[in-house]
Amino acid sequence: MNLEELLNYRRSVRVYDPEKDIDTQKVKHCLELATLAPNSSNMQLWEFYHITQEDLKEKVSKVCLNQSATRTAKEIVVFVTRQDLHRKRAKYVLEFERDNIKNYSPVARQLKRIKDREVYYGKIMPFLYARFYGILGAIRVLITSTVGLFKPIVREVSESDIRAVAHKSCALAAQTFMLAMAEQGYDTCPIEGLDSRRMKRLLNLPSGAEINMAISCGIRKGDDGIWGERCRVPFEEVYHRK
């Protein structure tokens, strides 16, 4: 299938065929491909919990309100944001970028580029991602609103804005995963109808982790797998050429 065919093939599947197994290693590979998704500042504040054990899968399905899409799934992946890992990730990316610049930038520009990255990942990212009961976000909003009086600036810097940033990027990884799965002939269904608190407890996640979505996996069961024709509002309603 080419990309357009894949996009048409991918549907949210609610009933999987119990007779058709999927290869756990292939699903894992699709998760590796998911990490190629674009993500904000390349911070990669995501984690994937690949549920393959039968007993755990049953518990995860219950936390997903026992929807048929999880109850009949062969495997489930839980996409998690890890804003709390921002320092670790920023450090990793900075180290990588240092070598990147040394290997690929003209010598005359290397020092400045490295300094820029150090400011970005060493100062701006820790400042932007830090959370403390909304207070740090309020300070950031105050600063950006003031600077914004004089020049264009990113204004979505409150603590809830930054949460959204982490979730946006994680959702792009989730979509990349679903397309990679479709290429294998595997079906998926994204699930946000779940009890996030129970899911965190079940997966033993730290308090800084947040559930982005679960994605059930399997192979659709004939015509029962999907709920009829795909519904999309007319394209003219959402497309605005300026």
Ligand X SMILES: Cc1cc2nc3c(=O)[nH]c(=O)nc-3n(C[C@H](O)[C@H](O)[C@H](O)COP(=O)(O)O)c2cc1C
Q: Which residues bind ligand X (CB under 6 A)?
A: 11-12, 14, 67, 69, 189-193, 213, 230
Residue 174 contacts residue 49 (beta carbons within 8 Å): no
Work out how close the CB of 67 gets to ligand X at its nearest, in angstroms, rounded to a whole number. Answer: 5
For ligand X, the closer of residues 11 and 28 by Cβ is 11
Give the nearest distance from C-beta 192 to ligand X in angstroms.
4
Q: Considering beta carbons, is residue 13 or 22 the nearer one to ligand X?
A: 13
The residues with which 80 forms a beta bridge, in sequence order, are 47, 211
CB closer to ligand X out of 31 and 69 = 69
* Between 105 and 175, CB nearer to ligand X: 175
Question: Angle between the 86-104 and 107-119 helix axes, to the nearest 10 degrees?
Answer: 170
Compute the least distance from the CB of residue 91 to ligand X, in Å: 30
Give 48 or 121: the residue with its C-beta nearer to ligand X: 48
Residue 124 CB partners (closer than 8 Å, separation 6+): none
d(CA 50, CA 55) in angstroms, rounded, equals 13
- φ, ψ dihedrals at 38, nearest 5°: -65, 150
CB 42, min distance to ligand X, A:
23
- Cα(67)–Cα(63) distance, rounded to whole angstroms? 9
Q: Give dist(CA 194, CA 220) in Å, integer.
A: 21
Give me the least distance between CB of 90 and ligand X, in Å please.
27
